[in-house]
A and B are shown apart, each in its own frame.
Chain A
Amino acid sequence: MSPGLVGIAIIDILLFTFLVVTAIAILRLRNLFGVVMLAGVFSLLSAALFVTLDAVDVAFTEAAVGAGISTVLMLGTIALTFREEKKPSHSALLPILVCAVAGAALIYGTRDMPAFGAPDTPVQTHVAPDYIARTPVETGVPNIVTAVLASYRGYDTLGETAVIFTAAIAVLLLLGASGKRRESKDSEGKE
């Protein structure tokens, strides 16, 4: 292995260790404020992992949405509900069993996956070279990710935008457009 790859491997191992530690801490904590903060840390560590995979667009989204906005919205939610997680009333044996079986199945599934960075996988031999060859000629956009998202896969991105719009409608339907405090004061005249 080249020195660069060894360095990336060390960073990966460190980041994954921190990820596991954060996940265990989230499981153990009952204070939901701490859980939300650690979930933000988890997202930021995932973003760093995406950077080591050269997926900067994904890392950017993960850092902005996962570590940024979600944390704020979660804090808003626990301010609306409870600050402490209730003690579970039943034993954790069945959930642990389900997690263990599902996890084992997933690990078994990775045995069929190509090796990390293998150059002869279908993605690397068929789809990726096609986009890399076509994007500069057809769109002239240097960031291929943007070209794929907005042009070649424009339908999907339109769908995602519609999903985000739907999320706003769902939240407004559940919580009300103007909020309880405002309703009692001045909304009758305006709305």
Chain B
Amino acid sequence: MEHHSILRVISKLLIPPIILYALYVQWHGDYGPGGGFQAGVVFAVAFILYSLVYGVDALTKIVPPRLLHAFAGIGVLIYAGTGIVTMLLGDAFLGYNALAHDPVHAQEWGIIIVEFGVGVTVASVMMTIFIAFASHNPPLKDQDW
């Protein structure tokens, strides 16, 4: 894709707002539509767009697959770990009320933490799956489509 200067410039313009929007959806999920799942997908899309324009090798230089594999597990562990912590604090598994002195605050904390876990897992998994598919293909020439 060396000669696609329009695609290269537009994608570079688009990627920062996409990442910013993903972070907004992640942390604003309590107030508006969205949450960890949607934020993770949007976050992964920014990197996948980069990879579509610049190639998979450029993407794996920024985010090594081994790192993504680790984060896919870390997200689930953040979620499940929150449940273990609430159990240790004397509440039920994923019963957030024990996380703070005030149950309403505790609920908000619990929701933000588990949504962060979901976001981390979804973003890593989407990028992992894309890299797994794309790194099997030889780079396509334009006339192939």
Contacts and interface: CB of A to CB of B under 8 A. Distances in A.
Interface of A: 33, 56-57, 59-61, 64-65, 68-69, 72-73, 76-77, 79-80, 137-143, 145-147, 149-151, 154-155, 157-158, 160-162, 164-165, 167-168, 171-172, 175-182
**B interface majority secondary structure:** helix
Nearest to A57: B33
A181 B133 CA distance: 12
Given A141-B107, A158-B94, A165-B73, A177 B29 contact: no
Contacts of B96: 151
Interface centre among B48, B125, B130 (most CB of A within 10 A): B125
B114 A181 contact: no
Interface of B: 25, 29-38, 41-42, 44-45, 48, 52, 56, 65, 69, 72-73, 75-76, 79-80, 83, 93-94, 96, 103-105, 107-108, 110-111, 114-115, 117-118, 121-122, 124-126, 128-138, 140, 145
Contacts of A142: 30-31
B30 A154 contact: no
A179 B45 contact: no
B42 to A, nearest CB: 6
A55 to B, nearest CB: 9
A143 B136 contact: no
Contacts of B33: 56-57, 59-60, 143, 145
B69 A177 contact: yes
A147 B111 CA distance: 7
Nearest to A178: B65
A149 to B, nearest CB: 7
Given A155-B94, A158-B80, A161-B117, A76 B111 contact: no
Contacts of A80: 133, 136-137
Nearest to A172: B132
A168 B33 CA distance: 26
A69 B145 contact: no
Given A72-B48, A140-B107, A143-B29, 20 more contacts: A68-B41, A69-B45, A69-B130, A76-B133, A76-B134, A79-B133, A79-B140, A147-B30, A154-B94, A155-B93, A161-B76, A161-B122, A162-B76, A164-B125, A167-B129, A175-B132, A176-B132, A179-B131, A179-B136, A181-B135
B78 to A, nearest CB: 9
A111 B53 CA distance: 50
Given A65-B41, A165-B125, A178-B65, A146 B107 contact: no
A172 B125 CA distance: 10
A151 to B, nearest CB: 6
A57 B36 CA distance: 11
B129 A73 contact: yes
Given A56-B33, A161-B121, A151 B110 contact: yes
A145 B32 CA distance: 10
Contacts of A61: 37-38, 41
A156 B81 CA distance: 15
Contacts of B111: 139, 141, 146-147, 150-151
